[in-house]
Amino acid sequence: MRLADFEPVQLIAALEDVRRLHPQLAGSEEEPGVDALDELRERLLAVLDDGLAEFAHSLSPQELRSMLYLLATDGSSPVRERAAEVVLSRPRADLVGLGWRLLRDNYPVDEAEPVVRALGESFGWRRAEPEYPERLARWFSSETLPGGLLADFGFHGRRDEFNAWLSGLGFDSRHGLSRATWEAALVSASADLIDRIGHDALLDRAKGSHSVLQQGFGRHYLAVFGGRDRWRDAVLEWIRSRFGLPSRLDQGLTPFWRPVAPEVRQRFCQWAIQGTVRDFFKTAEDPYHRFAFWSDFLDKAVDARQALGKAAVLIDFGTFGVVEFAEVGNAAHLYPSATFDEIWSKASRASIPADLKEPEATLSGHRGGPRRDGRIIHFQDWQRRHTPWIRSLLQR
């Protein structure tokens, strides 16, 4: 046996026993200096492709560990590829822990992940994490490492404690794998996993992320739940403030809304409309329960807005529209669509209720209500008398 091929197996085993018994010392070995890494990098690049295996056996144990740093941190893909071949040509048990920590901290590194997986499967994951080797094995057997961690949290994590769970496993916000796991949660977590991680926690993470990830989170959140039953208002409010409401016309959709399914866009609009009307009646005088009345029909509305500094609300039902006023004593005015479009367009300039009142232009004739016009006087059993009329208008 050549001296270069000799490996002190018993010494390596003793070293791993020390690391297992004293995990607080793991990772405390001195990092190679910049000059040492530069020198090793030049030597690595100078080797011919068919000489990498022989080169691996010429390296000292310290140089092999330094090769892991090149594998995990070098900015050149050819260097990382060559470093991977060198490590796989001479795998050692004492490389498992360091390889895992470097991958965890610098993730993602496409060239490093299969190398660390091979080391762990060959020598055992206990050499990397004595406290939870089985978990490491499951993570690496998943399609992606972040996916493995998310699945693990889904089974074992406590609700609303995702950060604490990661910290308990030795992760912190500086670790690349920690960031990647959060990012995977933002754009791929199941509805149940979002409930477990916490809607607010994911929203906070999204707010601090870059624009592309924010868009991915917003679209995924809307799609994975698909409706109001499990959507949280705080997340929807953020989506609305960040990306606006979807246009009614496909050609008017913004890049955020264009990939979102039409039925999801519609449900989002219904949430926004209901919120607008609800907010109006929270501050308006409502002794006649007007909000309860209109709530029965809001699923048919296509838009809503407040006007007159929250003294009026306009609800667009497509074929007709209604204006309600905050102050008691004002009748609701229902207009045909053409007239309502004009009222809508001037609402931002209106300053008094009269600006939004055109009694002679309200619905009349066969489309009029119990009064034969398009006004609703909130008086004496008005809900019962006007409900059939509104239903007939919506059916038309």
The 3-class secondary structure across 114-161, one letter per residue, is HHHHHHHHHHCHHHCCCCCHHHHHHHHHCCCHHHHHHHHHHHHCCCCC
Q: What is the pLDDT of residues 364-395, one digit of tens each?
A: 877 888 888 999 999 889 999 999 999 999 99
Q: Is 329 left (phi over 0), alpha (psi -120 to 50) or beta?
A: left
Whether residue 340 contacts residue 347, with contact meaning beta carbons closer than 8 Å, is answered with: no
The answer on 329 and 225 residing in a single domain is no
Query: Do the domain assignments include residue 269?
Result: no
Residue 20 has pLDDT above 70, yes or no: no
Which of these three, 222, 241, 260, is where a domain ends?
241
Q: What is the pLDDT of residues 264-292, one digit of tens each?
A: 999 999 999 999 999 999 999 899 999 99
The answer on 195 and 67 residing in a single domain is no
Which of these three, 117, 141, 165, is where a domain ends?
141
The answer on 379 and 301 residing in a single domain is yes
Q: In whole angstroms, what is the distance from residue 21 CA to residue 328 CA?
A: 77
- CA count, 13 A, side-chain hemisphere, 194: 26
The answer on 202 and 180 residing in a single domain is yes
* Geometric angle at alpha carbon 32, from 31 and 37, rounded to 5°: 145
Query: Do the domain assignments include residue 267?
Result: no
The answer on 209 and 132 residing in a single domain is no
The answer on 192 and 115 residing in a single domain is no
Q: What is the pLDDT of residues 113-161, one digit of tens each?
A: 999 999 999 999 999 999 999 999 999 999 999 999 999 999 989 999 9
Q: In whole angstroms, what is the distance from residue 49 CA to residue 39 CA?
A: 18
Other beta carbons within 10 angstroms of residue 38's beta carbon come to 12
Query: Do the domain assignments include residue 132?
Result: yes
Q: Which structure tokens are listed for 25? A: 């010392």
Tell me what pLDDT residue 10 has.
Answer: 60
Beginning with the edge strand found earlier in the chain, give each strand of the sheet holding 375-376 in spatial order: 303-307, 312-316, 320-325, 332-336, 375-376
Structural domain including 348 reads 280-395
Total number of residues shown for the chain: 396
Whether residue 196 contacts residue 153, with contact meaning beta carbons closer than 8 Å, is answered with: yes
The answer on 124 and 162 residing in a single domain is no
Query: Do the domain assignments include residue 258?
Result: no
Give the pLDDT mean for 6-23: 52
**What are the C-alpha distances in Å from 364 to residues 334, 354, 369, 386?**
9, 19, 7, 14
Whether residue 333 contacts residue 375, with contact meaning beta carbons closer than 8 Å, is answered with: yes
What domain count does the chain have? 3
Residue 5 has pLDDT above 60, yes or no: no
Whether residue 167 contacts residue 150, with contact meaning beta carbons closer than 8 Å, is answered with: no
Q: In whole angstroms, what is the distance from residue 260 CA to residue 246 CA?
A: 9
Query: What percent of the chain stands above pLDDT 90?
Result: 84
Which of these three, 104, 121, 141, is where a domain ends?
141
Tell me what pLDDT residue 248 has.
Answer: 79
The answer on 58 and 96 residing in a single domain is yes
